[in-house]
Chains A and B, each alone.
Chain A
Amino acid sequence: MSKPCLLLVDDEARILRSLALLFRTQYEVLTTTDGVEALRWVRERIVHVVVSDQRMPGISGVDLLRQIRDHSPRTMRILLTGFADLEAVEASVNEGEIFRFLEKPWNAALLMQSVAQAAAIACAEFAETGARTVATVASARVLVLDEDPATAALMASILPSETPVTACTNVESALAHLGEADYGVIVAEIRHGSDDVIGALKLLKQASPGTLAIACSSLRDGRILIDLINQGQVFRFLPKPLGRELTRRAVMAGLERHALLRREPIRVRRHAVEAPREISLPGRVMDYFRRIRDQARQRA
């Protein structure tokens, strides 16, 4: 078994040297300061994991990762950046669909663990033969968690009629719904009075990785989003007020992905998350999760 291939992209050669030394024993490491060269490698050979900086001359990390995703969807994508502004964080979710968002100066152990996780997933996927076919969207369910009824109304008006939309206004009833049926997508407003929606989304991803989470909020906070990427594998982030077309596309992409995950359960691993930190949810809520987890095991 040859080593998995790790591609490092950064405009600072010293970063590349430093990282290459960290990884060279376990991976076949490619390094480049040039986005074009990175793309060429991805086209010409199997690259299991790519770790890219965000701010680079010529091309941003998010743009590069999006193009890499188009060329080689199985390559796992990690962003490693000194500092990203809000737009970059949002774009990394919505366009780059990245696996992890890590910050410089990095914690070596955490970085190695993230890369190892990503490599394991990519190895399993590349080992599979058979081209990816675009799945037809089954009549999967959509759950909307928002105190504002307008969100669910908007979903009902933009989604096809065979897609059932369920609305709820608090975390507890959302969990009850998730325990009763298989939902393809959950659209959640991440700021609620006292509900820990963010914590719930993180736990949801651990319990039911096949459900795609779309976060929406009028609050746009990079820190919260980074957490949601790493611990909640949030699929999309939509700033409020919600645009019809953008929302429709995001939900449809989520339903498509969900269908794919159901046919090829191995892909669920792409949505593996870091263990969430300090989430305190009431005991009743935890019970729901246990139930969901048991059901998920039975289904598997």
Chain B
Amino acid sequence: MNASPLPARHSVPTPDLSPDLTQLQQPVEPLTPRCTVQQAGERFREPRHAALLSLPVVERGKVLGCITRHDLLMRVYMHPYGRELHGRRSVATIMNADPVILPVNTPIEAAGKIIGARIRRPITEDFAIVDADGTYRGMGIVLDVLHALETRLGEHSRELERACRHLQSSQNQLIQSEKLATLGQLVAGLAHEINTPLGYVQNNVEMIRPLLQAAAEWVGAAQALMQIGEDAGLAVAEACVERMAEASQAFEPTLFRDIDVLLEDTLHGVTQMADLVGNLKDFSRIDQRRSDDVDLHGVIDAALRIGGHLLRKRQVDVRRHYGELPLVRCAPAQINQVLLNLITNAAQAIDHDKGVIAIRTQALGGYAMIAVHDNGRGIAPDVLPRIFEPFFTTKPTGQGTGLGLSICQQIIHAHGGRIAATSSAQAGTRFVVALPLGGRPPGSPA
């Protein structure tokens, strides 16, 4: 008979495997039908059986019945002459010939139901545990079943909670990816709307510039002619010369050159706007499906351009230490989102004017590593383990959803990669993203 320990109260749950009676089984040496009632009473007084309500009566491995403390007390010891009447008789004469017998592989929940139906109040007996073929294995204590059921309930509710959290976070990821898709559509519309005025503004300015040069040329020639007219004192042309002199006052000597500079500036502004729209397009990549072999440095640069306004606002010095990276198979729009999130978080963690964000890349052990390191205020040690939890946020209510990093983690995991953070108040925070160079295309398109 192998001794099994009592069930651990905090066992690791195995959701796919319902626990049975193995854990509850107590190795109890059974009585034989040849034992007397007297001997059964002595057996009950042994300390090793202190927790048992009943002892099994077994012959050739088969359970014949159980004798309970309660029966012994009520029918033998508390009965006048009970010991004299029953003491020498076989234990079988006063045992319960129909005790609760359960196969060892009965799930705890089922055992609970059977015991609840079979055992009467007050609880006076325990139950016997047998093999699949009915061979006696040991005893089970009713209270243990209750405890085990309680533990199971706790586990169930924790599992439910986990499932619920998982559901919520995938639901939120869905909402986020919906948002992202909507954002892509929005960006496409926006790009189109902005590029249209940019198109004609740029074209118009470009058409005006050569014309303006021709006009400058013309005015110069006219002024020369006017001078000749004045010098020669041609009466015929006097009215004309006067008109020209009048009109000529509008043209300072440097005017045309200055205006051309202004037009050049205008074109520069238009180009800048076009670049900005281009960056937005790169970011949302509505013109692309599925994953691609991507130059991660280009993705980092795109994220830096998008986050540029925040970095400039906080006067953060961005230092890029790019190593050698091969092309990496990934969904660029998603990786873009991750990097933008990390860069934005880094910028927001900096509340002094010597802010530095260092971005390092290298290929290491079959992974492309991207490290984003800021010299900001750092993450408190008690907060650090929780940063990837969905809905966990240190920002005031309404400021952060607490989803950013959990989505980042989900995206990176979907790529078969890893994301981790280290942080201290002195050294700031360092996030490292590792993407497999072999590439595992994400299961679902962005």
B184 closest partner in A (C-beta): A85
Tell me if A82 and B194 are in contact (CB < 8 A): yes
* Alpha-carbon distance A222/B204, docked complex (angstroms): 28
Say whether B287 contacts A105, CB under 8 Å: no
Contact call B203/A221, Cβ cutoff below 8 A? no
A21 interface residue (CB < 8 Å to B) = yes
State A15–B199 Cα separation when bound (angstroms).
7
* Interface pair B289/A86, CB less than 8 Å apart: yes
Complex Cα–Cα for A84 and B188 (A): 7
> Chain B contacts of A126 at CB under 8 A?
none
The interface bits of chain A over 11-40 (1 if a CB of B lies within 8 angstroms of the residue's CB, else 0) are: 010110111011000000000000000000
Q: Is the CB of B199 within 8 A of A105?
A: yes
- Chain A nearest CB: distance from B397 CB in Å? 37
B358 within 8 A of A: no
Tell me the total A-B contact number using a CB cutoff of 8 A. 81
State in angstroms the CA–CA spacing of A19 and B274 once bound together: 19
> In the complex, A87→B104 CA distance in Å?
63
Q: How distant is the Cα of A246 from the Cα of B205 in the complex, in angstroms?
A: 46
Chain B: number of interface residues, binned into ranges: 20 to 34
Residues of A within 8 A of B203 (CB): 18-19, 22, 105-106, 108
Residues of B within 8 A of A223 (CB): 287-288
Choice from A84, A106, A218 contacting B287 with Cβ under 8 Å: A84
For the complex formed, measure the closest distance between the CB of A107 and the CB atoms of chain B, giving whole angstroms: 9
Inter-subunit contact A18/B287 (CB<8 Å): no
Docked pose: A22 CA to B209 CA in angstroms: 13
- In the assembly, what is the distance between CA of A18 and CA of B270, in Å? 15
Nearest CB on A from B151, distance (A): 50
CA distance A81 to B202 in the complex (A): 15
Beta-carbon contact of A222 and B199 below 8 Å: no
Tell me if A82 and B207 are in contact (CB < 8 A).
no
Q: Which residue of B lies closest to A55 (CB)?
A: B192
Most buried by B among A14, A22, A89: A14
A103 at the interface (CB under 8 A from B): yes
Asked whether A218 and B290 contact (CB < 8 A) given A104-B198, A106-B203, the answer is yes
The answer to whether A14 and B292 touch across the interface, beta carbons within 8 angstroms, is: no
A220 to B199, CA, bound (A): 27
Separation of A17 and B204 alpha carbons in the complex (Å): 9
CA of A106 to CA of B274 in the docked complex: distance in angstroms?
Answer: 10
Instruction: Report the nearest B residue to A221, measured CB to CB.
Output: B288
A104, B199: Cβ atoms closer than 8 Å:
yes
Contact for B207 among A21, A81, A222, CB less than 8 A:
A21
B233 at the interface (CB under 8 A from A): no
Which chain B residues lie closer than 8 Å to A181 at the CB level?
none
A219 within 8 A of B: yes
- Within 8 Å by CB of A86, from B202, B270, B288, lies B288
Closest CB-CB distance, A240 to chain B, in whole Å?
10
Q: How far is the CB of B328 from chain A (nearest CB, A)?
A: 14
Q: Mark A223-264, 1 if CB is under 8 A from B, else 0.
A: 100000000000000000000000000000000000000000
Bound-state CA distance A55–B194 (Å) is: 13
Contact B191 A18 (CB under 8 A): no
Interface: B281 (CB within 8 A)? yes
Distance of A257 from chain B, by nearest CB (Å): 27
Chain A residues with CB under 8 A of B274: 105
Determine whether the beta carbon of B281 is less than 8 Å from that of A220. Answer: no
Contact A105 B202 (CB under 8 A): yes
Whether B249 sits at the interface, judged by CB under 8 Å, is no
B42 interface residue (CB < 8 Å to A): no
Question: Nearest CB to that of A191 among chain B residues?
Answer: B293
The residue of chain B having its C-beta at the shortest distance from the C-beta of A88 within the complex is B287
B11 at the interface (CB under 8 A from A): no
Q: 28 A-B residue contacts at CB 8 Å?
A: A12-B196, A12-B200, A17-B200, A18-B199, A18-B203, A18-B204, A19-B200, A21-B207, A22-B203, A53-B196, A55-B192, A82-B191, A82-B193, A82-B196, A82-B199, A86-B286, A89-B287, A105-B202, A105-B203, A105-B270, A106-B199, A106-B202, A219-B290, A220-B288, A220-B290, A221-B287, A221-B288, A222-B288
Q: Which B residues lie at the A interface, using CB under 8 A?
A: 188, 191-204, 206-207, 270, 274, 277, 281, 286-290, 292-293
